[in-house]
Amino acid sequence: MVPLAHPDASKEVCLYCDASQEFWGAICTGVDQSDLSNPLSQQNHSTLAFLSGKFTPAQSRWPTIEKEAFAIVESAKRLEYLCDGGHTHNSLEEA
């Protein structure tokens, strides 16, 4: 994982994933909510992280849809701290 910018709570988090025969990759970005109505090419994204990996020999025999799903799930797991909307830690204050 390569973190590039600090998350901004006012921005929407976007996750873009792809997979090929042997590899998978993802990019996580932040974008202003006002930009989301614009075409993707006109949105101003700030890069938060890049991820990638190589499929094992068994995984490389999976159908394409399984590889694409793996890239999404693996990226969401690794970047959960960016994708979950943050934590308030209210339970610590109430203890």
pLDDT in tens, 6-59: 888 888 999 999 999 999 999 999 999 999 899 989 999 999 999 999 999 999
pTM metric for this prediction: 0.78
* pLDDT given at position 81: 84
Q: Is the pLDDT of residue 5 over 60?
A: yes
Q: CA-CA-CA-CA torsion for 4, 83, 16, 8, nearest 10 degrees?
A: -40
Cβ 60 vs Cβ 22: under 8 Å = yes
**Measuring CA to CA, which residue among 4, 30, 34 is closest to residue 86?**
30
Token pair for 63: 């159908």
Nearest to 31 by CA among 18, 15, 20: 15
- Binned at pLDDT 50, 70 and 90, residue 3 comes out as low
pLDDT of res. 89 = 52
Domain 2-83 belongs in CATH node 3.10.20.370: yes
